[in-house]
Structure 1
Amino acid sequence: MKINEKNLCIFATTPPYDYEGYLNKRGEVNKAFQRRYFVLKGNLLFYFEKKFDREPLGVIIVEGCTIAELSEETEQYCFQIVFNGNRTYVLSADNHEQMEAWMKVLTSAGYEFKRVVVAELQRQLDEIESTMKQRLGQELPTSIPSKPPRTRSNPFNRPAPPPPSQQRLFDRPVVVNGSSGIESTPSTCLVNAAGSSHNSMETIGKLTNAKAVLSTSQLFEKMHQHFRNDVMIDVELHRAAKELAAKELAAKELAEKEVAAMPLIDILLS
């Protein structure tokens, strides 16, 4: 595996850390213990000569190894990191509590340990979900009524009105008698309201004296014809008066022009 030393140094000196502290490390050639500062990030165990050094002296990949306590060493509180067929690292802590803490975090730093923990947690979660489903299945009813579909009330969605009858309202006959006039119906009320002139009242009186049975539509047609005759008479009178005024004005203008055209001596003699 190719390692970029610069990036690895930046990673080793950048917090946060999973665990850190001083340990005594036994050398590979020189069997004496040397004090080093260890930093654990993930499954990488870096060790420095001093705490604030910028570059680590080395790194131990905590994968495929065994963490075990050593009792035969003269140095107290020793434990070892054993790789199968490779080097064994022997470390010692200052007291028993630190030794147990380091052994615990190093044991749980490997990928294999995390994989086993995740699998166990997933199994427990599946058991909890199955138990909850069984409880809910016992408590809930077997058939849940379906919710009715939502309907919108549109004020324009109304049934069409029934078709009108064959005989229209205004085509009903109205019996007219001589004493009380037209029968009191909605149509005749409109007729009474429309009769605002003397001629229309005279026409209604003539129809009353005749004692005829007429429909409302025929009565409206006769009234319309009578009103039309009155209007046409007024139009003719207005037109005749306008023509007469125009003729008088034209005669006056012609006389003024003739007077203006006469010599001054004729005007004085006249």
Structure 2
Amino acid sequence: MKINEKNLCIFATTPPYDYEGFLNKRGEVNKAFQRRYFVLKGNLLFYFEKKYDKEPLGVIIVEGCTIAELSEETEQYCFQIVFNGNRTYILSADNQEQMEGWMKVLTCAGYEFKRVVVAELQRQLDEIESSKKQRLGQEIPNPIPSKPPRTRSNPFNRPAPPPPSSQRLADKPMPINGFSGTESSTSSSSCATTNSLAAAAPSQTVLSTSQLFEKMHKHFRNDVMIDVDLHRAAKELAAKPLIEI
């Protein structure tokens, strides 16, 4: 943005202001004090002849200067804005409170002052962070390691249990003439058992009916218990939870 008189006048008369009020200003040629209305915006101190004037009489750039109180002036509550090698502005307030207020805000208006303040605040912040880290380190010398996240196995990756008699049914023949494979295999096995016993001991006495029934019952019981064991195993597997936590 270009700086010209028009832009500067708009900036000087547009609120908000950092500080404002009436002061008595001593002239450069005429050493008498004249009452002016001062407005501070940033590091620019504008002064007007009257409070609601549209254009300022002048502007003082409050940068690289010294603000000091004057006690040798005839006017009371005087202070000065001193520029090294340049003009010195002498101002007078109406009371002690106004003079101290103006001196304070003018001292803090310069860029150099703000830079020093920011550097000091950053130093204090670094000290606070450092002391906080040391305090936390003393309170927790051995931090407890965090537990690993809990994992769950996918129940659908487990193969489905076989039916209780699937293995046995695969080995048994299909029903013939209305009889199941178990009956046919049983009858055939009984015949085979009888034949084998007769062939193995032709010279011995043939087994009695009760003994033959006992052997057949034992053979049938073995077949039934195999099916029972398979059924129990499938039932226990089905009773287990699908998802183990």
TM-score bin, normalised by smaller chain = 0.5 to 0.7
The reply on whether 1:213 has 2:195 as its aligned counterpart is no
Aligned to 1:217: none
Q: Summarize the Cα distance change of 1:213–1:118 in structure 2 as closer, same or farther, 3 Å threshold.
A: same
The reply on whether 1:15 has 2:15 as its aligned counterpart is yes
CA distance in 1, matches of 2:12, 2:150: 62
Q: Secondary structure at the match of 1:213?
A: helix
Aligned to 2:99: 99
Q: Secondary structure at the match of 1:25?
A: strand
The two structures have a TM-score, normalised by structure 1, of 0.61
Give the ranges of 4+ consecutive aligned residues of structure 1 lying more than 4 Å apart after TM superposition: 159-162, 164-168
Aligned to 2:75: 75
Count of residue pairs brought into register by the alignment: 184
Shift of 1:52: 0.8
CA distance in 2, matches of 1:140, 1:159: 48
Aligned to 1:121: 121
Deviations 1:128-164 (A, max 9, x none): 11111111001114243133034255332325758x9
Rg larger for: 1
Q: Secondary structure at the match of 2:157?
A: coil
Instruction: Give the share of equivalent positions with the same residue, in percent.
Output: 85
Deviations 1:61-91 (A, max 9, x none): 0000000111111111111000000000000
CA distance in 1, matches of 2:57, 2:123: 42
Shift of 1:6: 1.2
CA distance in 1, matches of 2:101, 2:24: 15
Shift of 1:96: 0.9
CA distance in 2, matches of 1:24, 1:147: 74
CA distance in 2, matches of 1:117, 1:159: 73
**Where in structure 2 are the equivalents of 1:1-270 lying within 5 Å?**
3-158=3-158, 168-172=168-172, 203-204=177-178, 213=188
- The one-letter code of the counterpart of 1:90 is I
- The one-letter code of the counterpart of 1:19 is Y
Q: Secondary structure at the match of 2:156?
A: coil
Aligned to 2:230: none
> Higher relative CO (CA 8 A, sep ≥ 6), structure 1 or 2?
2
RMSD of aligned C-alpha atoms? 3.1
- The one-letter code of the counterpart of 1:43 is N
